[in-house]
Chains A and B, each alone.
Chain A
Amino acid sequence: GEDVEQSLFLSVREGDSSVINCTYTDSSSTYLYWYKQEPGAGLQLLTYIFSNMDMKQDQRLTVLLNKKDKHLSLRIADTQTGDSAIYFCAESSLFSGGYNKLIFGAGTRLAVHP
Chain B
Amino acid sequence: SQTIHQWPATLVQPVGSPLSLECTVEGTSNPNLYWYRQAAGRGLQLLFYSVGIGQISSEVPQNLSASRPQDRQFILSSKKLLLSDSGFYLCAWSGVRINTEAFFGQGTRLTVV
What residues of chain A have their CB less than 8 Å away from a CB belonging to chain B? 4, 6, 8, 30-31, 33, 35, 40-45, 48, 88, 92, 94-107
Contacts and interface: CB of A to CB of B under 8 A. Distances in A.
Q: Which 9 A-B pairs have the closest CB atoms?
A: A106-B43, A42-B104, A104-B44, A31-B99, A43-B104, A92-B99, A42-B106, A30-B99, A42-B107
B100 interface: yes
A95 B98 contact: no
A30 B99 CA distance: 7
B106 A41 contact: yes
Nearest to A31: B99
B75 interface: no
Given A44-B104, A100-B98, A95 B49 contact: yes
Nearest to B49: A101
Given A42-B90, A48-B101, A104-B43, A99 B107 contact: no
B106 A100 contact: no
A96 to B, nearest CB: 8
A35 B102 CA distance: 10
Contacts of B41: 8, 106
